[in-house]
Amino acid sequence: MMPCTAGVSIASAPEVRRPHIPCERVMLVTIGRTLAVLLICVLFTAPWTALAQAPRGAIYLTDMGNDRIVRINDITGTGWTVLRNRDAGVRQFPFQSGITLDGAGRIYTTDAVNFRIVRVNDMTGAGWTAFGRRGTGTGEFEFAVGIAVDSNGRIYISDATNHRIIRINDMTGAGWTTFGARGAGVNQLNFPQGILVDRSGRIYIADALNDRIVRINDMTGAGWVAFGRLGAGVSQFEFPAGAAIDATGRIHVTDSSNDRVVRINDMTGAGWTAFGSIGTGVNQFSFPTGIFVDAAGRIYVSDEVHRIVRFNDMTGAGWTALGSMGTGVNQFSFPSAIFVDGTGR
């Protein structure tokens, strides 16, 4: 067990390849192909704030290094609103890594180093509800990362260092169901990251340290299909962290350690299209993680170089970036997950 200087520790750290996060913000336990879970050692504390309601198309993201959720009206940064703090109390989350909304507009985030998930009604923090504690059993997480909500309101979480996904009926933890065990075979996962549920109820998982994406029909593992292997070529990933589906069912993946976004037509890998290269300029990424595709087919990506980007399609047309490193308005510190509200609140 390696302690973080902020007083947080994680046991049984997984293998993670090539980080992009500087050491003054994160403790890295080992280097190279082996890297421990990233633990934010934040240097400040700030109060939560709230502004007006958001319109259709509002963008929500987890600004991980700044210990906050950010909402903006659009990619220009208008309507900047934050909910933030650190520690383990109400309206406090020092390492939030996943984000989603349910049909009622409530916001869900994974509070990884507090071993829980959190739901709030809105960006004021009203209705704060937390669920989870540290461990490997029922009602317990070891490093909750991705989160999704299906059309029935059930909540899905990728519990990364327990190498499993979890489904619960609601924030009481009722209906607790787990799937997965550590490994590289069928019904096995290794440090799962992003998770999503399609309109048919099928579950997609970014199985990061197996360098693949997985789809299952339900929490029994029926219909198991895996696609991908380690590498930088066609049909290859290195630490896929996020996944999203567009209106036609095509799958978009952030291939994080290859600094690119990949789109495939289906789980056979047909229509393989890759976009991006390493860098900080236009059409470049540096360890992209979160991804979302809106109803118009525009692609949103959270990029570890303290920005989010939006582009119209896999050619990079309409590339627009927002953000720089910092703690102020239109500034981020390692944004990790992104969600676009197609309804408006």
Over the chain (345 residues), the average pLDDT of each successive run of 10 is 29 40 30 32 29 74 93 97 68 71 96 93 94 98 96 97 98 98 98 96 98 98 98 98 97 98 98 98 98 97 97 98 97 96 71
CA distance 86 to 101: 21
Which residues are within 8 A (CB) of 147 and not within 5 positions of it... i.e. 6 or more apart?
Answer: 98, 99, 100, 108, 109, 110, 117, 155, 156, 157, 158, 195
Contact 95, 64 (CB under 8 A): yes
Residue 115: closest CA among 81, 80, 88: 88
| Sign of the Cα pseudo-torsion (85, 336, 154, 245, in order) | positive
237-251 per-residue burial string, b: 16 or more CB within 10 A, e: under 16: bbbbbbbbbbeeebb
> How far apart, in whole angstroms, are the C-alpha atoms of residue 337 and residue 70?
11
Which tokens hold the place of 319?
């590339």
Other CB atoms within 10 Å distance of the CB of residue 9: 14
What does the alpha-carbon distance between residue 60 and residue 168 come to, in Å, rounded to a whole number? 23
Q: Detail the DSSP E strand segments found in 51-191.
A: 59-63, 68-72, 81-84, 96-101, 107-111, 116-120, 129-131, 133-134, 140-141, 144-149, 155-159, 164-168, 177-179
- Rama region for 231: left / alpha / beta (φ>0; ψ in -120 to 50; rest): left
pLDDT at residue 86 in the model: 52
> Is the backbone of residue 33 left (phi > 0), alpha (psi -120 to 50) or beta?
alpha
Report d(CA 126, CA 107) in Å as an integer: 10
Q: Where are the alpha helices (DSSP H) in 87-235?
A: none
